[in-house]
Amino acid sequence: MADTMELRDIEVWDGNMAASHALRQVQVDVVAAYPITPSTPIVENYAGFTANGYVDGEFVMTESEHGAMSCCIGAAAAGGRVATATSSQGFALMVETLYSASGMRLPIVLNVVNRAIGAPLNVNGDHSDMYMGRDSGWIQLDSYCPQNAYDLNFIAFKVSEDHDVRLPAMVHQDGFMTSHTAQGVHTLTDEAAFNFVGVYQPMNDMLDLDHPVTHGVQTEEDWHFEHKARQQHALMTAVLPKIQAAFDDFEKLTGRKYNLVEAYDMEDAEVAVVCMGTSVETAREVAEEMRAQGIKAGVVGIRVFRPWPLEQIAAVLKDVKAIAALDRSSPHGTVGALYNEISGTLFNTDTKAVLTNYIYGLGGRDLTKAHLVSIFTDLKANADAGKVTTPLQQYIGLRGPKLSFF
């Protein structure tokens, strides 16, 4: 258990406030931002911290989200501890620069408050922007509640700034459902929080004039393949032990345990739901109720979306008879991204599990306990039959006639 001297009080914070205080406590040098709902309070709060002298850093208001990440790239290349936040359309405008940040191996932390991408325009939460970033070369950590949004920022900085890693990291939280929902958050003292992450030690910074470096080089066909395969993909797949080590260190400090894959009641589970974000906590509650009815239900929460923890997910699902992959983003003509990831993970294993796909919660639509009871009931039928007895893909909570595919 953590030393109580390292812990502060419980604060009633929403996810945005929790994330902004984490940025304050690690003393970020530069936050460059163009605000967008529902992530605005993160950078707004940080601007207030700088104006009131709580951090010795710079807040830079830019002309767009593309400009915000471009400014972050410049500040990180110059040797600063750098962070920002965005959502949805702003994230989409950043995408070009996200690839530059990861390719240049710049340890930037980006808080993504997940929100639907238009059209039609929608300011509420789903995972469209999270999925858009999955091939950008960034580490992606997923929060289920404000406490996670606070804690995972420290993990993101610690891992991203490791000289063996030096890759940017995103911390995701569900728009409004986490970002604007206040809960009790167990906090660290400023000293303990800063010491956990440590003093920033820049590497290959452009302002180290005794050791000149070049950033943003051009490679073409002679070296581009090697860079992508060896400097990014191979490195990214080797990051998982670093993340787990940071989780372990954080548990020693706080008593709060995190895992690459969060498994709930999976020891003897015959049916399981795999999901992310706030849906994990709702699914856990329903799984407990299903167990009281004799259905051995479990829940798998994806904590680390990139790099994908393939071996850990295969291990936790190996004995399950029926699995539901819950995707909070419309796949537009195929199966969902999470379904695809799980399919690829299990394909070369000995599992006989029946895998189905549920699309839910688009544009902030609620995922209710009744919806999850229906999903677990479908899974039980599939498990008993040993095959798909329901449509492979269903839309949950959709008004009008039932919509299903494949």
Distance from C-alpha of 243 to C-alpha of 240, rounded to nearest angstrom? 5
Distance from C-alpha of 359 to C-alpha of 51, rounded to nearest angstrom? 43
Spell out a b/e string for 70-85, using b for 16 or more CB atoms within 10 Å of the CB, else e: bbbbbbbbbbbbbbbb
Distance in angstroms between the alpha carbons of the first and the last residue of the chain:
49
Look at residues 118, 78, 70, 123 and name the one whose alpha carbon lies nearest to residue 95: 70
pLDDT score, position 9: 85
Same domain? 84 vs 224: yes
Q: Could you tell me the strand order of the sheet in which 297-302 lies?
A: 261-264, 297-302, 271-275, 322-327, 354-360, 393-396, 404-405
Final residue before a domain boundary, out of 254, 289, 313: 254
Token pair, residue 159, equals 């891992």
Range of the domain at 306: 261-405
Same domain? 200 vs 331: no
Same domain? 41 vs 14: yes
Distance from C-alpha of 232 to C-alpha of 302, rounded to nearest angstrom? 22
pLDDT score, position 3: 61
Please tell me the chain's helix, strand, coil percentages from 3-state DSSP, rounded to the nearest 5.
40, 20, 40
Length of the chain: 406
Provide the CB-side half-sphere exposure for 120 (13 A, CA). 2
Final residue before a domain boundary, out of 254, 273, 301: 254
Sequential DSSP letters for 317-381: HTT-SEEEEEESS--SSS--HHHHHHHHHHTTSS---EEEEEEE-GGG----HHHHHHHHHHHHH
Residue 306, sorted as left (phi over 0), alpha (psi -120 to 50) or beta, turns out to be beta
> What is the DSSP secondary structure assignment for residue 110, as one 8-state letter?
E
Same domain? 85 vs 33: yes
Number of domains in the chain: 2
Same domain? 165 vs 239: yes
Same domain? 389 vs 303: yes
Q: Are 128 and 329 in contact (CB under 8 A)?
A: yes
What is the domain-level CATH number for residue 224? 3.40.50.970
Strands 108-114 and 169-174: parallel
Same domain? 100 vs 167: yes
Q: Are 101 and 216 in contact (CB under 8 A)?
A: no
Final residue before a domain boundary, out of 223, 254, 285: 254
Number of C-beta neighbours around residue 96 at 10 A: 12
| Helix or strand run (H / E) with residue 169 | strand 169-174
Is the pTM of the predicted complex or chain greater than 0.95? yes
Q: What interhelical angle do 146-160 and 190-197 show, nearest 10?
A: 40
Q: Are 69 and 40 in contact (CB under 8 A)?
A: no
Beta bridge partners of 13: 183
What is the domain-level CATH number for residue 265? 3.40.50.920
Reduce the DSSP state of residue 190 to 3 states and report it.
helix
Q: What interhelical angle do 146-160 and 240-254 show, nearest 10?
A: 120
Same domain? 30 vs 50: yes
Angle (CA) 282 286 291, round 5°:
150
Tens digit of pLDDT per residue, the chain (406 long)?
566 567 778 999 999 999 999 999 999 999 999 999 999 999 999 999 999 999 999 999 999 999 999 999 999 999 999 999 999 999 999 999 999 999 999 999 999 999 999 999 999 999 999 999 999 999 999 999 999 999 999 999 999 999 999 999 999 999 999 999 999 999 999 999 999 999 999 999 998 889 999 888 899 999 999 999 998 999 999 999 999 999 999 999 999 999 999 999 999 999 999 999 999 999 999 999 999 999 999 999 999 999 999 999 999 999 999 999 999 999 999 999 999 999 999 999 999 999 999 999 999 999 999 999 999 999 999 999 999 999 999 999 999 999 999 8
Same domain? 136 vs 238: yes
Same domain? 93 vs 38: yes
